[in-house]
Structure 1
Amino acid sequence: MNETLLQSLQYYGAAAGTVAALIVSLDLGRRWTGFGFVIFVTSSIALMAWGFLDEKAQGIGLQNVALFVINCVGVWRYLLSKHRKQVTS
């Protein structure tokens, strides 16, 4: 496999995951959190590809299969679902 492609997938996945975690942790509202989850989804896709294309990184690939599903739930809840959770104080 092309080493440059593998490194690009690895570093994009790591950087995107870091940015997404920052956005979600800042709790800037539903829309921003939803976009954070979209970035998490792209991170998971990149890390799944890297994990399954590089024979030394299969554990990361498997972990990101689960994270991909979790992140898709986040996208659904924060961006796509019509149901809005009521916040009580």
Structure 2
Amino acid sequence: MSESTLNILQYYGAGAALLAAFLVSLNLGERITGWAFVLFVTSSIALIAWGFLNDEGAGIGWQNVGLLIINVVGVYRHLIAPKNRKAHK
């Protein structure tokens, strides 16, 4: 894998995660939070790829496998099944 592709994956993953975390912290509502989780999903995918294609990034890759699962749950709860979430309050 080329060094420039690895850099794109690494910095996209980091930047997307920061933006997603900022959006979640603003608590702008169910839909915006759901789309922030979609952004987290893309970040996790980029960092999984970076982690396993990089000689020294397997730890970040595995961490993001776990985060991907968490982020998919966030997408489901906030975008796919928001009515079910409100019923449990």
TM-score range, shorter chain: over 0.9
Query: CA RMSD, aligned part only?
Result: 1.4
Moved over 6 A (4+): none
1:86 positional shift: 4.9
User: Do the aligned partners of residues 69 and 87 (structure 1) sit closer, same or farther apart at CA in structure 2, a change above 3 Å counting?
Assistant: closer
Shift of the alpha carbon at 1:83? Answer: 1.4
Percent identity between the aligned chains?
Answer: 59
More helix per residue: 2
Unmatched tracts of structure 2, length 5 or more: none
Q: TM-score, normalised by structure 1?
A: 0.94
Give the aligned length: 88
Query: Who is 2:47 aligned against?
Result: 47
Aligned match of 1:11: 11
Structure-2-length-normalised TM-score:
0.94
Post-superposition Cα deviations, 1:62-84, rounded to whole Å, max 9, x if no partner, equal 00000000000000000001414
Q: Which runs of 5+ in 1 are unaligned?
A: none
